[in-house]
């Protein structure tokens, strides 16, 4: 079969792996056959940035609820962030999260080690476990569960000694605070549309620029998360194959879909960090995604309760629940002619696996784990309360009509989702990395 192209054929799954791929494979006694005519068989989506809120914030979400939502949306593997309560700042706390996932995650999983200004030595213990931990997360801008790292000496220590990928949230906290103070001094009450002015283009660029400069100085494997501005794109290149890049970046689906014009309609429901910005930024992100300046697509799935998303400005929490709808949204853009199905697979599966060095996942290859999704391109659905699976119970896409549906999801060979029903007889597996 021609990898990276749409072809017709059969696929056999045995013992959790892809056993055979070909045209007109012979029948196998006792095998269950799924007729996929007129549908796409895709490698499962790998989401490199989610917040499943467990432990400590489980009124918003938990590993069980959000992994179910992920699988229902065609996401078979995820990498989860450390800003829980307590934050995952030691290997012992990190392993407690892995233990929860082993019992309760329907999707495959990995967890980032967290950092603070004081825990560099603890964080760098990940070097001893680089084959089974996805990386180190550095919050260079504050967000939910403040783990801000703004001490340059701490950054230098982490970037110079890490043997694993460092993923960064880049926003300059000094500029954000100055913007907020200036706007509050006007005496008017801030609203949703002020968020991209508080967390503005300069705040994103200055922080990303700093991260890139430190990474270049030390040869760090750096991955900058959720790029949201046109200006930041000058920091990245498409001149090398992805496997040879030392500095990579990600775009999230909400920054590809929404713009600042949507605050009037959706208000704080689309408040997130970094902020959704003016339309010209979205257009630049699309161009960079399609020319390989941006390497992967993710969600930054970050659920809060509906009450927590209410104003006033200081009260409204930042973050959107997205993991169930990322693949359907990109299939919408396929139908709109903006992104070929092959490029969706590349940016949501193949290139995530390559970027992180994920072992034997992300591709439809014989011998690989059978993380697979069947999509009916002509089965529309509308997101509403009857089909939203997030624990928080809402979505910024409520009322949006998606043209295509996920019908089946296999996680490590287990048919975990079929035609609206979830099978939790088997949980997902801990991901491994080739480093």
171-193 pLDDT, tens digit per residue, is 999 999 999 999 999 999 999 99
Which residue segments constitute the domains of the chain, with CATH numbers given? 10-422 (3.20.20.140)
pTM greater than the 0.85 cutoff: yes
How many whole angstroms separate alpha carbon 99 and alpha carbon 129? 16
179-235 pLDDT, tens digit per residue, is 999 999 999 999 999 999 999 999 999 999 999 999 999 999 999 999 999 999 999
Question: Residue 369 corresponds to which tokens in the numbers above?
Answer: 């784990």
Question: Residue 412 corresponds to which tokens in the numbers above?
Answer: 């490590």
Residues belonging to the chain: 435
How many whole angstroms separate alpha carbon 324 and alpha carbon 309? 19
Per DSSP, the three-state class of 297 is strand
Per DSSP, the three-state class of 139 is strand
pLDDT for 295: 98
Tracing tokens 């996942």 back to the chain, one arrives at 361
pLDDT at 1 over 60: no
- Share of the chain residues as helix, strand and coil, in percent rounded to the nearest 5: 35, 20, 50
Q: What is the CA radius of gyration of the chain?
A: 21
Per DSSP, the three-state class of 10 is strand
CB atoms within 10 A of CB 23: 9
pLDDT for 29: 73
Residue range 67-87: mean pLDDT, rounded: 98
How many whole angstroms separate alpha carbon 211 and alpha carbon 207? 6
Calculate what percentage of the chain has a pLDDT beyond 70: 99
pLDDT for 26: 81
Cα–chain center distance at 419 = 24
Instruction: Provide the pLDDT confidence category of residue 331 given band limits of 50, 70 and 90.
Output: very high
How many whole angstroms separate alpha carbon 228 and alpha carbon 294? 11
The answer for 213, left when phi > 0, alpha when psi is -120 to 50, beta otherwise, is: alpha
Tracing tokens 């709109």 back to the chain, one arrives at 336
Q: Give the mean pLDDT of the chain.
A: 96
pLDDT for 143: 64
Task: Spell out a b/e string for 152-167, using b for 16 or more CB atoms within 10 Å of the CB, else e.
Answer: eebbeebbeebebbbb
């Amino acid at each position: 079969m021609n990898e990276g192209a749409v072809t017709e054929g059969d696929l056999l799954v045995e013992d959790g792996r892809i056993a055979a791929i070909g045209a007109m494979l012979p029948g196998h006694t006792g095998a269950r056959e799924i007729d996929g005519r007129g549908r796409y068989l895709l490698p499962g989506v790998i989401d490199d940035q989610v917040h499943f809120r467990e432990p400590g914030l489980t009124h918003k979400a938990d590993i069980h609820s959000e992994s179910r939502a992920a699988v229902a949306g065609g996401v078979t593997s995820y990498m989860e962030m450390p800003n829980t309560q307590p934050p995952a700042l030691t290997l012992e706390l990190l392993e407690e999260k892995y233990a929860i996932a082993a019992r309760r995650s329907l999707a495959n999983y990995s967890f980032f080690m967290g950092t603070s200004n004081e825990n560099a030595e603890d964080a760098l213990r990940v070097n001893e476990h680089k084959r089974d931990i996805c990386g180190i997360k550095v919050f260079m801008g504050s967000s939910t569960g403040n783990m801000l790292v703004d001490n340059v000496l701490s950054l230098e220590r982490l970037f110079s000694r890490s043997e694993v990928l460092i993923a960064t949230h880049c926003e300059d906290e000094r500029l954000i605070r100055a913007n907020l103070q200036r706007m509050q001094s006007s005496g008017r009450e801030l609203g949703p549309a002020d968020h991209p002015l508080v967390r503005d283009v300069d705040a994103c660029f200055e922080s990303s620029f700093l991260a890139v400069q430190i990474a270049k100085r030390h040869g760090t494997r750096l991955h900058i998360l959720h790029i949201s501005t046109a200006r930041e794109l000058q920091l990245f290149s498409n001149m090398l194959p992805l496997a040879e890049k030392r500095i990579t970046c990600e775009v999230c689906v909400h920054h590809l879909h929404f713009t600042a014009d949507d605050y009037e309609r959706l208000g704080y429901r689309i408040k997130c960090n970094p902020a959704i910005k003016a339309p010209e930024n979205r257009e630049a992100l699309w161009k960079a995604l399609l020319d390989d300046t941006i390497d992967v697509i993710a969600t930054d799935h970050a659920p809060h309760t509906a009450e927590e998303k209410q104003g006033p400005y200081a009260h409204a929490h930042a973050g959107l629940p997205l993991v169930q709808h990322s693949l359907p949204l990109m299939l919408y853009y396929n139908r709109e002619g903006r992104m070929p199905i092959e490029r969706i697979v590349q940016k949501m599966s193949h290139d995530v696996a390559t970027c992180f060095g994920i072992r034997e996942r992300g591709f439809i290859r014989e011998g690989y784990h059978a993380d697979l999704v069947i999509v009916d391109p002509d089965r529309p659905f509308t997101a509403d309360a009857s089909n939203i699976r997030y624990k928080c119970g809402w979505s910024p896409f409520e009322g949006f009509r998606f043209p295509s549906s996920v019908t089946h999801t296999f996680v490590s060979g287990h048919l975990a989702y079929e035609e609206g029903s979830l099978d939790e007889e088997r949980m997902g597996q801990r991901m491994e990395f080739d480093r």
